[in-house]
A and B are shown apart, each in its own frame.
Chain A
Amino acid sequence: MAKILIVEDDPLMLRMYQRVFTLEKYEVEVAVNGEEGLEKARSVKPTLILLDIMMPKMNGLQMLEKLKADPEMQKIPVVLLTNLAGKQDAETGLSLGAVKYIVKSEYVPKRIVEMVKEIIAGYTRNEIPQS
């Protein structure tokens, strides 16, 4: 089963996404900031990364840049999680190589799982990335 890395600093928000992806039988790894997220991405090689933007230590956009600069990880699809006010940053994220951004308050968790499913399906059809 696909492995999802969720990088999110709010513990309850993190637990909620962890819960729904676990219920959907995904393997879930978590990190609470960009620094930790980068380490986890390197060690667990996730199928897809769900990445919050506003985080302490290293924010989502900084982590995204580092990810895309690393030949080993640059092919992992990244979906940005944002709040309504962060749309501008999310657009920046797209130009940095994220495949999609999702405004957290606009979709219930199940919908987010569905969107992630579609993205992974698309990627596996094209046989990227290898995990």
Chain B
Amino acid sequence: MDDPSIPVSEQNSEIAHVTQEMYKKNFELAEKNKILSLLQKIEEIILSSVTDIYQIAQNVADVTSSAAEFKVVGIYLLDNSSSSLKLLAVSRTEIGEKIKLSLGKNIYPEVIKLDNSENCVVKVVSSKSKQTVNNLRCILIPYTPEEDIQKIERIYPVKSTFINPLIVRERVIGVLIISISETEDSLSGYQIELINRLVSLIGIAIDNAFLYQKMQIVNIQLREVDKMKDEFFSIASHELRTPLTVIQGNTSILMDYFSAELKISSVRELVDDIFTSTVRLIKLVNEFLDMSRLEQGKLKFEFQSVDLPKLIMRVIKEDKALFDSKQVEIGYEGPEALNVFCDPDRIMQVVINLVSNAIKHTEKGKIIIMVGIEGNFVLVRVRDTGDGISFQNQKYLFQKFRQADGDILTRDSSRGAGLGLYISKLLLERMGGTIWIEGSEEGKGSTFAFKIPLEKAG
């Protein structure tokens, strides 16, 4: 620029021009920066841990008004269930607070009914396109009384109000309203661009919060239903047991003390059948109660050192009556004593379940219970020479209410509710063990196995 061939005055004007351009560029850059920083702030709100829809709307309104120097920013949510727009937040600016103080409420109506088709906010919602109005009245009527409208005009003479639909996935979910005391054309390019870009982002923020809120409500409802179901289950089972115990007890009194009166064999048979059915029913109710308490985590376990072989021998002895009528032998292979760490009643329940399943499905042959050590676990196998289970049906074994055939029509209700293995599985899992079917072949028999932690040395 020191070229002597160009006169100084021209040089100066050139410099002035360049400087001016630079200022302009700088200004544009600053505006772009402002837009970016505001958009970033709104993104931060979207991603923040705040999930309350009112809080999010408030944060968005506050950030928008302070960054763009809009004095009044409001956000509405469309509530389809009441066919209305509900005011979520109004920016907490000096002007906004002043109006609130004077009116005792926000500048914008709390609720705008959608059937109020003359209202310009409603028009924006139904046309899905933004609108600029220079008179607040078309928003406020019929919600704000005339004297309040005049109060607003005295405190903050609004010249332009921008009403923007918040559209997410082609659906209007709410409205963003910005009121300023200048005319529309006094807005800077930055402010106009800001509004345009803000709208979609705010829409997402509000929609997210709304969905989250809805999800939470549904979640709470679901949890309540689930709790009610569990409670119903345990109360029902509970209440069933008292009368059942009385039926069972009185039937057994008949059998134990009135045998002379029961000499007629058909009467004796009647009483026997009542007794057997009641025992079965009580067992079922107990299983239901066990299951519901296990699922609710309400079943308490008392862990202690348990001599597993001794416990198994006891089960074999007590179950003797069950297989006396069949040509079934039962044997044990393993150490004479071996301590595991678990709840003795609960492990007993598992062993009884496996042994009685084996007996149930074996007409003649042998049932062997084998015990051994595997790492830090005791491994127990129960092998029978019974019916066996086809490979495709094995997957049903540990499921609730399923018997191995897996079909509701062919279920054999004399075999129980199909809860035994499911309960055994839950019990073992709570005691740090696992249960599985080791092998089975139709017509040849099955082997079930479970693992339970060894008692820790010392």
A→B interface (CB under 8 Å): 10, 12-13, 16, 19-20, 23, 83-85, 88, 104-105, 108-110
Contact = CB atoms under 8 A, between A and B. Distances in A.
Interface string B235-254: 00010011111101110110
B456 interface: no
A110 B246 contact: no
Most B CB atoms within 10 A — which of A10, A12, A23, A85?
Answer: A85
Contact of A109 (B241, B243, B249, B289): B249
Most A CB atoms within 10 A — which of B243, B245, B300?
Answer: B245
Contacts of B244: 105
Given A23-B253, A83-B238, A110-B252, A12 B243 contact: yes
A108 B286 CA distance: 16
Given A10-B246, A13-B245, 14 more contacts: A10-B242, A13-B249, A16-B253, A19-B250, A23-B253, A83-B241, A84-B289, A85-B238, A85-B293, A104-B245, A105-B244, A105-B282, A109-B256, A110-B257
Nearest to A84: B286
Q: Is the interface of A mostly helix, strand, loop or mixed?
A: helix
28 contacts: A12-B243, A13-B242, A13-B246, A13-B249, A16-B249, A16-B253, A19-B253, A20-B249, A20-B253, A83-B238, A83-B241, A83-B242, A83-B245, A84-B241, A84-B286, A85-B234, A85-B238, A85-B289, A104-B245, A105-B241, A105-B282, A105-B286, A108-B252, A108-B253, A108-B256, A110-B252, A110-B256, A110-B257
Contacts of A12: 243, 246
Contact of B253 (A84, A105, A110): A110
A77 B373 CA distance: 45
Interface of B: 234, 238, 241-246, 248-250, 252-253, 256-257, 282, 286, 289, 293, 300
A84 B282 CA distance: 11
Contacts of B243: 12
Contacts of B250: 16, 19
B416 to A, nearest CB: 17
Contacts of A20: 249, 253, 257
Given A83-B238, A105-B241, A16 B246 contact: yes
Contacts of B300: 88
B286 A109 contact: no
Contacts of A23: 253, 257
Contacts of A16: 246, 249-250, 253
A108 B238 CA distance: 18
A33 to B, nearest CB: 16
A123 B215 CA distance: 64
B386 to A, nearest CB: 28
Contacts of B234: 85
Contacts of B238: 83, 85
A12 B248 CA distance: 12
Nearest to B345: A87
A107 to B, nearest CB: 9
Contacts of B289: 84-85
A105 B248 CA distance: 8
Contacts of B256: 108-110
The 10 closest A-B pairs by CB, nearest first: A108-B252, A110-B256, A105-B245, A12-B246, A109-B249, A16-B249, A23-B257, A104-B245, A105-B282, A13-B246
A13 B238 CA distance: 15
Most A CB atoms within 10 A — which of B246, B253, B282?
Answer: B246
Nearest to B246: A12
Nearest to A88: B300
Contacts of B241: 83-84, 105
Nearest to A19: B253
Contacts of A105: 241, 244-245, 248, 282, 286
